[in-house]
Chains A and B, each alone.
Chain A
Amino acid sequence: MSDSVTGSVKGTLTPVLTDNWGSERSWTLAAYEAQGGYGALRNALAMAPDDVISAVKDSGLRGRGGAGFPTGMKWSFIPQDNPKPKYLVVNADESEPGTCKDIPLMMATPHTLVEGVIISSYAIRANTAFIYIRGEVLHVIRRVQAAVAEAYAAGHLGKDIHGSGYDLDLVVHAGAGAYICGEETALLEGLEGRRGQPRLRPPFPAVAGLYASPTVINNVESIASVPSILEHGAEWFASMGTEKSKGYGIFSLSGHVTRPGQYEAPLGITLRELIDLAGGVREGHSLKFWTPGGSSTPLLTADHLDVPLDFEGVGAVGSMLGTRALQIFDETTCVVRAVLRWTEFYKHESCGKCTPCREGTWWLVQTLAALERGQGTEADLDLLLDQCDNILGRSFCALGDGATSPISSSIAHFREEYLAHLQHGGCPFDPAASTTFAAEGALA
């Protein structure tokens, strides 16, 4: 029984971005325009660019790529008196473990993103924009390439867009496998044809980004939300969500829930409400731990089911809203195994630029792997926390900080389970019990 999700449901879903995902040939220009697509672009082109920025500011939209920086404010930092070209770069690298919203968006309705790119570029006065998509999603790249080609053919891109005098070129760029390229300055390095290692800030990309020119970098979902704001108004957007976390967002449920998937809701919905909508925790099991926003956000437990999933609410319980990547694990899952695997990921993805992260993630894996095998003593837990202290706040970029989140939070919530590995001389869990095919005997 999924005992963790009793109680009344007050949360409702508000499909905006996901609303068209199931319509016929939703990825085509014809389908998008049949539902009013590119109407927001016409509204925007009739406005002064600064008024578009104001609308996005007034909406309260905050970045959907993890950090939640106000999008309109970011745009207003672009120095318009700088004679260099301005650039918009869309971060479509989506690689934070658990995060799986931008990829289905670009596959189902790439034109929502393309329209957002045009409006956003117009606002910041960029004549060239890029979509940097991780390379490992071939069909998504096809769909975005095709959408861009269609948008050119329809006059939404190119020279003098709809007689406005505004020109925009949009380049689709496939990455080549590197989690760190989701970090915005590493992404710029990748886009400049270099190793994806983060840059020192300042200067910030708004001043000296791509080709040392003023650059806005935004997440796919942030940019895809812009047409809805221009279509329905800033007030409409701000009528959803909570006081400081406005609007709707896509919540991605994965793992041990009956119906994993994408749930678009106002910010501030709770995990209890979302799990209830998703049909409960896996039949016969109960919630053990979850990530609110990907593996870099500290783990939460069943004690946090009623935390409002907005930037403030999740922050107040010591974690982060991140990318709303809700990975749900039931009691069959070994938290030490889960954390070790994430730590191996960070070690693998560390770009090697700074010592605390490069060396530190290596040591974390050594210590954790020994504990997982049941080797070591309780003092190794303190050693782990020490190692985390040497990384957190001392790393060059947020990858290093993120690597410590699952470790310190899991020790805080599940210290006994680490000790059980030592007592048991190894992992006390049956890894088959947590699989989707555990009940079916599909192991045979």
Chain B
Amino acid sequence: MTLTQETHDELRAIAARYPEARSGLLPMLHLVQSVEGRVTPEGIEACAAILGITAAEVSGVATFYTMYKRKPVGDYHVGVCTNTLCAVMGGDLIFERLKGHLDVGNDETTERRPEDKASITLEHIECNAACDYAPVMMVNWEFMDNMTPQSATQLVDDLRSGAEVHSTRGPRLGTWREAERVLAGFPDGRADEGPSAGPASLAGREIARERGWTAPSSNGTAGETAGEVPEEPAQREQAVAESDDTVAEQAVVEDKSPSGETAADKDEAQ
């Protein structure tokens, strides 16, 4: 494939974001992957020419970082966290199950069967800063939280069949190439999809609200800076559905009550 003039222009635009052009190299390589499906020799040459460095220098950078791939990546990059915490919580079993189910090894891509709409590259990944949702998978670097072997095989079956799939804590999943374009710094307009946070992220906050605990107020006395925070009812209900815990349930009940008091005030009243 030959890089288009548009791609060359975009590569130059990335370099121009920085006080020194070479700082653009990491996002430039993300753009190359988005266009080419991997880091190609042509992409390396293009980056080198724009930055005025050698192809060997670019290559040296591309081989250092694990997100850059020399082999073509499938439509969906499916990562299974097998760092210790996720491994122990089930990640190892999920990864084994998926290798068998997809008949691929680590860092390999599925053959397209006649009925498939999409291919999958399977890889085990390191801790993805989502340990409170273990075992964690990532599809094109979107969170798939609290997975099981069953939900994992269902997920890859859905992806291969072309069904619409949503991140458990994010937007509708796009392709790996689309994801790489966002990493290059070209937004895709999906920032507003998905929730503010998943249930685990809100765990402590929910308990604090339930018990009326707050940080001290500015003048040093506790309990007066309770957030006058408009909650997001839909999201709360989703959190309840996902975690069926009483704290979140209670919070939703409070949200539905017609009063303007905060949850913390109410707890005090109780």
List chain A positions with a Cβ less than 8 A from chain B: 12-16, 18-28, 34-35, 85, 94-100, 102-104, 107-109, 128, 134-139, 141-143, 145-146, 149, 171-179, 190-196, 211, 231-233, 235-236, 239-240, 248, 251-255, 259-265, 277-278, 295, 325, 327, 329, 333, 337-339, 341-342, 345, 348-349, 351, 431-432, 434-437, 440, 442-444
A260 to B132, CA, bound (A): 5
Measured CB to CB, the closest approach of chain B to A23, in angstroms, equals: 4
List of A residues within 8 angstroms of B100 by Cβ:
none
Whether A190 contacts B26 in the complex (CB less than 8 A), given A22-B231, A23-B229, A177-B65, comes out as yes
A141–B216 CB distance below 8 A: no
Q: List 20 A-B contacts (CB under 8 A).
A: A14-B213, A18-B205, A21-B196, A22-B205, A35-B228, A97-B126, A103-B129, A107-B196, A128-B19, A135-B26, A136-B67, A136-B138, A176-B66, A179-B126, A240-B215, A255-B134, A260-B133, A261-B200, A263-B207, A345-B127
B170–A139 CB distance below 8 A: yes
B125–A136 CB distance below 8 A: yes
List of A residues within 8 angstroms of B84 by Cβ:
97, 295, 327, 338-339, 341-342, 345
List of A residues within 8 angstroms of B93 by Cβ:
431-432, 435, 443
Measured CB to CB, the closest approach of chain B to A50, in angstroms, equals: 23
List of B residues within 8 angstroms of A248 by Cβ:
215
Give 5 nearest A-B pairs by CB, closest first: A261-B203, A193-B25, A263-B204, A176-B65, A177-B66
A262–B128 CB distance below 8 A: no
Measured CB to CB, the closest approach of chain B to A369, in angstroms, equals: 14
List of B residues within 8 angstroms of A94 by Cβ:
129
A29 to B58, CA, bound (A): 38
Q: Which of B113-121, B143-151, B155-163 lines the interface with chain A?
A: B143-151
A195–B140 CB distance below 8 A: no
**B72 an interface residue at 8 Å Cβ cutoff?**
no
**B83 an interface residue at 8 Å Cβ cutoff?**
yes
B64–A138 CB distance below 8 A: no
**B43 an interface residue at 8 Å Cβ cutoff?**
no
B229–A145 CB distance below 8 A: no
A137 to B185, CA, bound (A): 13
List of A residues within 8 angstroms of B146 by Cβ:
436
B203–A102 CB distance below 8 A: no
Q: Which residue of B lies closest to A251 (CB)?
A: B204
A442 contact from B82, B89, B126, B150, Cβ within 8 A: B150
A254–B142 CB distance below 8 A: no
List of B residues within 8 angstroms of A134 by Cβ:
129
Q: Which of B20, B82, B134 has the most CB of A within 10 A?
A: B134
A145–B170 CB distance below 8 A: no
List of B residues within 8 angstroms of A436 by Cβ:
89-90, 134-135, 146, 148
Measured CB to CB, the closest approach of chain A to B119, in angstroms, equals: 19
A195 contact from B20, B61, B83, Cβ within 8 A: B61
A171 to B179, CA, bound (A): 19
List CB contacts (< 8 Å) of B89-136 with chain A: 89-90, 92-93, 125-135
A108 contact from B83, B197, B245, Cβ within 8 A: B197
Whether A15 contacts B205 in the complex (CB less than 8 A), given A137-B141, A146-B191, A252-B131, comes out as yes
Measured CB to CB, the closest approach of chain B to A53, in angstroms, equals: 21
Whether A95 contacts B127 in the complex (CB less than 8 A), given A176-B26, A192-B23, A437-B148, comes out as yes
Measured CB to CB, the closest approach of chain A to B243, in angstroms, equals: 8
Measured CB to CB, the closest approach of chain A to B69, in angstroms, equals: 10
B19 contact from A34, A173, A211, A351, Cβ within 8 A: A211
A348–B245 CB distance below 8 A: no
A178–B65 CB distance below 8 A: yes
B89–A435 CB distance below 8 A: yes
List CB contacts (< 8 Å) of B173-199 with chain A: 179, 182-185, 187-188, 190-192, 194, 196-199
A255–B89 CB distance below 8 A: yes
Whether A431 contacts B190 in the complex (CB less than 8 A), given A97-B84, A195-B61, comes out as no
B203–A341 CB distance below 8 A: no
List of A residues within 8 angstroms of B202 by Cβ:
18, 21-22, 261-262
A13–B204 CB distance below 8 A: yes
Whether A239 contacts B216 in the complex (CB less than 8 A), given A20-B227, A142-B188, comes out as yes
A12 to B211, CA, bound (A): 9
A178 to B67, CA, bound (A): 8
A262–B201 CB distance below 8 A: yes
List of A residues within 8 angstroms of B67 by Cβ:
135-136, 175-177
Measured CB to CB, the closest approach of chain A to B8, in angstroms, equals: 18
A349 to B83, CA, bound (A): 12
A173 to B185, CA, bound (A): 8
List of A residues within 8 angstroms of B125 by Cβ:
136
Q: Which residue of B lies closest to A180 (CB)?
A: B64
B207 contact from A102, A177, A178, A277, Cβ within 8 A: A277
A27–B196 CB distance below 8 A: yes
Q: Hey, what's the 0/1 contact readout for B207-229 against A, CB within 8 Å counting as 1?
A: 11001011111101000000111
A259 to B204, CA, bound (A): 9
**B253 an interface residue at 8 Å Cβ cutoff?**
no
A97–B127 CB distance below 8 A: yes
Q: Which of A22, A191, A339 has the most CB of B within 10 A?
A: A22
Not counting A20-B227, A35-B229, A99-B127, a sample of 16 additional A-B residue pairs whose C-beta atoms are within 8 angstroms of each other reads A13-B204, A24-B231, A25-B192, A34-B230, A108-B197, A176-B65, A191-B23, A193-B25, A195-B60, A195-B64, A211-B20, A277-B204, A337-B87, A345-B127, A351-B64, A434-B89
